[in-house]
Structure 1
Amino acid sequence: MASEYKRIEGCIAAYIASRYTDIVEIGIGRNPDVAVRCREAGLRVRATDIREPPVVAGVATRRDDVFTPALPWYAGADLVYAVRPGVEMVPALIALARRLGCDLLVYHLGDEVYLDGGERIECGVRLHRYSRAPKRS
């Protein structure tokens, strides 16, 4: 089972690292694998959790609540993402991404989705893009 999780995190990180440069993981918990792999790929990586997040070398972490986020800390992000968040968090994640003007990607637990599931992305695993940054001119 652990190797399957590592494969999942690898697919997610590879997709993110090929498309984004400044990312924030919401709900890092005790599994920093995606954040670490993205940092190793040269991305600017930040991470939050409702509880005190672990110290992860090269990743700025802080305790924050996605329902009442400290917006200045997220400035400059081109992606907010979450790995296996509770479905009740998705509306707050969408709101945060829209306020920041960035994309939102979610990897759900099992077959869980929010509403219509957003835009589905196949990258070795299924991601859901619930918000897309406005096109820049």
Structure 2
Amino acid sequence: MSVAYKHIEACFGEYIARNYHNVIEIGVGQNAAVAERCVRAGLRVRATDIREPPLIPGVEVRRDDVFTPEHSWYAGADLIYAVRPGVEMIPPLIDLARSLRCDLIVYHLGNEVYLDGGEVIECGIVLHRYVRS
């Protein structure tokens, strides 16, 4: 993992740890650095991916598709977040966050954003909050 990626995950994880308690990462893939930082900060952390996610110490993981999510598994979250999701994932992420009445924050790849980019959060990196509960 490059130094730039470590910086991104560190900034994102620290922001989450300061502002939330019960979080879910969508599309965790093989990079669980943000989730791991959140666990170390004492948060409840869950993570999903369309493929079977790896076991991550301290993180509840499951396979799930954001386009047809199992809503009951997400109950109680105060934040859903994603690191570099495809832009096509943003509308179902927004729908899921609204249905759960929780925040949605995304770190986009490069300058990619969805529609107007939502509320911009500067925390050493640029995050986009698309839903605020």
TM-score, shorter chain, exceeding 0.5: yes
Match of 1:21 in 2: 21
Pair 1:96 & 2:103 matched: no
Unaligned runs of 5+ in 1: none
Aligned runs of 1:51-70 on 2, under 5 Å? 51-70=51-70
For 2:2 and 2:41, the matched residues in 1 are separated by 22
For 1:130 and 1:86, the matched residues in 2 are separated by 15
| Letter in structure 1 aligned against 2:35 | A
| 1:89 CA drift (Å) | 0.2
Percentage of matched positions with identical amino acids: 68
| Letter in structure 1 aligned against 2:18 | S
Match of 2:46 in 1: 46
Unaligned runs of 5+ in 2: none
Q: Please, what is the CA RMSD of the aligned residues?
A: 0.6
**TM-score computed with the length of structure 2 as normaliser:** 0.99
For 1:27 and 1:5, the matched residues in 2 are separated by 16
| 1:50 CA drift (Å) | 0.2
Number of aligned residue pairs: give it. 133
**TM-score computed with the length of structure 1 as normaliser:** 0.96
Q: Secondary structure at the match of 1:82?
A: strand
